[in-house]
């Protein structure tokens, strides 16, 4: 996609559905489907939706609110639906719903959900602007609003962690760690107050 082509795209243009039969190799030691198998399908479906929306490569930058609501059994199919919820400047949030189906009875269960953030990359591997998204239905507009709330929370969380790390670093510059000072599991001095 040309970098300048940022015309809004409808959510429906990039929606993805993946269906996969769960086999013995997908089992964990409890005999049900391994959470990691589901997470890989979620990342794959969401990544496809992100790339379709961006019209080029996009990488996963975060996955949050991954919930496992019910176990998935071997022999069931898993259906993963991914849909772009909202975009930032170079990033976009994709929402994913996971359902299992007992093949013979057709009984379907909502087994999980997740929200993932992808960043579109240019040919040099640098973040590039993404097209805006046109939320047309009431549900799409609700998801877009909720995605904006999650984006604010993520950015605030990232900033708070960064500020804390900067603060710790400043304290260490003022008070370099004693050779004999006891350290915690992370290698930080147990005593964290500034020495005057
Ligand atoms: C994705 C990557 C290129 C972003 O680099 P970066 O230096 O953080 O880029 P920026 O700070 O310019 O942020 C780019 C966008 O990502 C968003 N972002 C960065 N870190 C984020 C995080 N932890 N959670 C959510 N969004 C995040 C920023 O808000 C920004 O979005 P916006 O332009 O819509 O506001 C870099 O983090 C990377 O290469 N990560 C590894 C990706 C990967 O290997 N994934 C697994 C395989 S697909």
Query: Where in the chain are the domains?
Result: 9-166
CA–CA distance from 172 to each of 22, 68, 187 (Å)?
Answer: 51, 41, 12
What are 125-164's pLDDT values in tens digits?
999 999 999 999 999 999 999 999 999 999 999 999 999 9
| Phi and psi, residue 84, nearest 5° | -70, 125
The alpha carbon torsion through 131, 157, 41, 107 (nearest 10 deg) reads -100
For domain 9-166, the CATH class is alpha beta
> Is residue 117 scored above 50 in pLDDT?
yes
Q: How much distance in Å is there from the Cα of 120 to the middle of ligand 1?
A: 9
CA angle 43, 83, 150 (to 5 degrees): 80
pLDDT range class, residue 4, cuts 50, 70, 90: low
Residue whose structure tokens are 């997740």: 114
pLDDT at 192: 54
Q: Using a 6 Å CB cutoff, which residues line ligand 1? A: 59-62, 88-91, 117, 119, 127, 154, 158
Q: For the whole model, what pTM was predicted?
A: 0.86
> Ligand 1: distance of its center to the CA of 1 in Å?
20
Per-residue tokens: 107: 């009984």
């Amino acid at each position: 996609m040309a970098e300048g082509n940022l015309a809004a795209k409808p959510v429906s243009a990039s929606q993805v559905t993946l269906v996969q039969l769960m086999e013995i190799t997908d089992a964990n030691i409890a005999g049900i489907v391994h959470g990691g198998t589901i997470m890989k399908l979620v990342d794959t479906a969401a990544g496809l939706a992100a790339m379709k929306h961006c019209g080029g490569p996009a990488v996963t930058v975060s996955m949050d609110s991954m919930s496992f609501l019910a176990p998935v059994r071997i022999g069931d199919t898993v259906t993963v639906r991914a849909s772009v919820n909202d975009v930032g400047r170079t990033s976009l949030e994709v929402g994913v719903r996971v359902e299992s189906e007992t093949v013979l009875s057709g009984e379907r269960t909502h087994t999980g959900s997740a929200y993932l953030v992808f960043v579109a990359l240019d040919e040099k591997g640098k973040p590039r602007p993404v097209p805006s998204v046109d939320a047309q239905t009431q549900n799409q507009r609700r998801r877009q609003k909720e995605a904006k709330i999650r984006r604010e929370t993520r950015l605030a969380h990232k900033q708070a962690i960064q500020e804390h790390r900067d603060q710790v670093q400043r304290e260490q510059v003022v008070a370099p760690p004693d050779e004999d000072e006891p350290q915690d599991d992370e290698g930080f001095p147990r005593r964290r107050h500034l020495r005057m």
